[in-house]
A and B are shown apart, each in its own frame.
Chain A
């Protein structure tokens, strides 16, 4: 579904990604963990070309995203993105947020799009908030609307960029629930997250990144139980809460 080869990304003189190779299979859930500044978010943002690659190749669903012939707007509908800061459109109701893509990108008639929108809002448990503006929603509700907004384009992959990092602790669960449901339905997902519990429960594979490279990858069970690299061991010991 996603094939990344030799990906490098620099911001000016600062090299953030130093040669990433990663394949994601259809239906796979990959969770990327790592310290801040390790390039996790940048990697995710390269996949739908919110950041331009410096060198290397990314293939999404058989399309080379750096090829001039590829319609990047099409790729972006295939790879839905969920942001840490939600980025809902504040001047539109929840339903409008969800239907904008189908109507303006896909050209679906408004009524049909609204039926789809209601269905998706119901799926994320927010059918009753359809006509509410974002400023009247909690963080968790906003993020669920944002997920519905991405799903409205029927993407083949969902990219999550720290989807729960801006949420109050008691609101994290409702967002993770929605993500778990998606994973169970067979959605291909790449998730940058600090939620180790989620990774353990849902991920097929966990990737540990540090300083622009993939240091270690494995099944969550193996990676959390027997980390091999010293940097992984040190990181995991820092993020593990004392209770675990």
Chain B
């Protein structure tokens, strides 16, 4: 009956403990996904700065194909499509982490590439001129400086990936959004529950933003 909506605050208090379990999954998937994604991104990003055409093109293919397709499609391909070809089931949680890793890796690759290329050429020349090899110059001179410049965009990617985990609802991983959906299936209180879920995401992303700002400030002072 339209016009007879009444807000029930008790629904919120009742759903919070259940949603907190979902949050644990959300955080777990985000962190693991990003740690793996950073490794993928670092390798692909370095390959994008390489003069080796094979590395360069392989990384380019990875980055373009991931950035050019929706995450939702990637998730479903990984969870529903790939197991058919491999003839092996992938557990939903692994598929979720994998999807976040592969997806964020493509964006992180561009962050890594841009940061490395933003370091003055003279730094590489100075490193080489004191007899360091290319690899050692990368390791001791270029990477530490580039990494500092990566932190703000990586923080941004952290927030994006955290929100992206909500798409894993389609493969039934029990993260925050999925948990909210399950509660609503039982009590039909969509307004209160989705509001609570939204606020929880907001608290998470705002906390990350704050921690990152602190980190950036500390690195500026050195």
- B contact residues around A146 at 8 Å (CB): 126
- B contact residues around A153 at 8 Å (CB): 130-131
Interface on A for B, CB 8 Å cutoff?
48, 50, 73-74, 76-77, 80-81, 83, 85, 87-91, 100-101, 104-105, 133, 146, 149-150, 152-153
Whether B130 contacts A101 by the Cβ 8 Å rule is yes
Whether B130 contacts A50 by the Cβ 8 Å rule is no
Whether A76 contacts B126 by the Cβ 8 Å rule is no
Q: Please name the 5 residue pairs, one residue from A and one from B, whose CB atoms are nearest each other, closest first.
A: A87-B126, A77-B131, A101-B130, A87-B122, A81-B129
- B contact residues around A133 at 8 Å (CB): 222
Number of CB contacts from chain A to chain B under 8 A? 63
Is B64 in the interface zone, CB < 8 Å from A?
no
Whether B126 contacts A73 by the Cβ 8 Å rule is no
Is B145 in the interface zone, CB < 8 Å from A?
yes
Is B153 in the interface zone, CB < 8 Å from A?
no
Whether A104 contacts B136 by the Cβ 8 Å rule is yes
Residue of A nearest to B147 (CB): A91
Is B141 in the interface zone, CB < 8 Å from A?
yes
- A contact residues around B132 at 8 Å (CB): 73, 100-101, 104-105
- B contact residues around A104 at 8 Å (CB): 132, 136, 140
B47 CB to nearest A CB, Å: 23
Among A88, A90, A101, A146, the most chain B Cβ lie within 10 Å of the Cβ of A90
B149 CB to nearest A CB, Å: 11
B52 CB to nearest A CB, Å: 17
Whether B131 contacts A87 by the Cβ 8 Å rule is no
Is B163 in the interface zone, CB < 8 Å from A?
no
The size of the chain B interface, using a CB distance under 8 A, is 19
8 Å CB contact of A50 from B120, B128, B136, B222:
B128
B136 CB to nearest A CB, Å: 6
Whether A89 contacts B129 by the Cβ 8 Å rule is no
- A contact residues around B133 at 8 Å (CB): 73
8 Å CB contact of B122 from A76, A85, A101:
A85
Q: Which of B122-174 contact A (CB under 8 A)?
A: 122-123, 125-133, 136, 140-141, 144-145, 148
- A contact residues around B141 at 8 Å (CB): 89
Residue of A nearest to B145 (CB): A91
How far apart are the CA atoms of A73 and B128 in the complex, in Å? Answer: 7
- B contact residues around A76 at 8 Å (CB): 128-131
Whether A83 contacts B131 by the Cβ 8 Å rule is no
- B contact residues around A80 at 8 Å (CB): 129-130
How far apart are the CA atoms of A80 and B128 in the complex, in Å? Answer: 10
Whether B144 contacts A91 by the Cβ 8 Å rule is yes
B123 CB to nearest A CB, Å: 6
Residue of B nearest to A93 (CB): B222
- B contact residues around A101 at 8 Å (CB): 130-132
- B contact residues around A77 at 8 Å (CB): 130-131
Q: Which of B102-125 contact A (CB under 8 A)?
A: 120, 122-123, 125
A105 CB to nearest B CB, Å: 4
Residue of B nearest to A133 (CB): B222
How far apart are the CA atoms of A150 and B131 in the complex, in Å? Answer: 10
- A contact residues around B131 at 8 Å (CB): 73-74, 76-77, 101, 105, 153
Contact (A91, B148) CB under 8 Å given A83-B122, A100-B140, A104-B136: yes
- A contact residues around B122 at 8 Å (CB): 83, 85, 87
How far apart are the CA atoms of A149 and B126 in the complex, in Å? Answer: 10
Q: Which of B198-222 contact A (CB under 8 A)?
A: 222
Whether A87 contacts B140 by the Cβ 8 Å rule is no
Whether B126 contacts A83 by the Cβ 8 Å rule is yes
How far apart are the CA atoms of A141 and B133 in the complex, in Å? Answer: 27
Residue of B nearest to A135 (CB): B222
How far apart are the CA atoms of A80 and B148 in the complex, in Å? Answer: 29
- B contact residues around A83 at 8 Å (CB): 122, 125-126, 129
How far apart are the CA atoms of A76 and B134 in the complex, in Å? Answer: 13
How far apart are the CA atoms of A150 and B127 in the complex, in Å? Answer: 11
How far apart are the CA atoms of A48 and B132 in the complex, in Å? Answer: 13
Give 6 CB contacts A-B under 8 Å.
A50-B125, A76-B129, A80-B130, A81-B126, A89-B123, A105-B136
Residue of B nearest to A105 (CB): B131
- A contact residues around B140 at 8 Å (CB): 100, 104
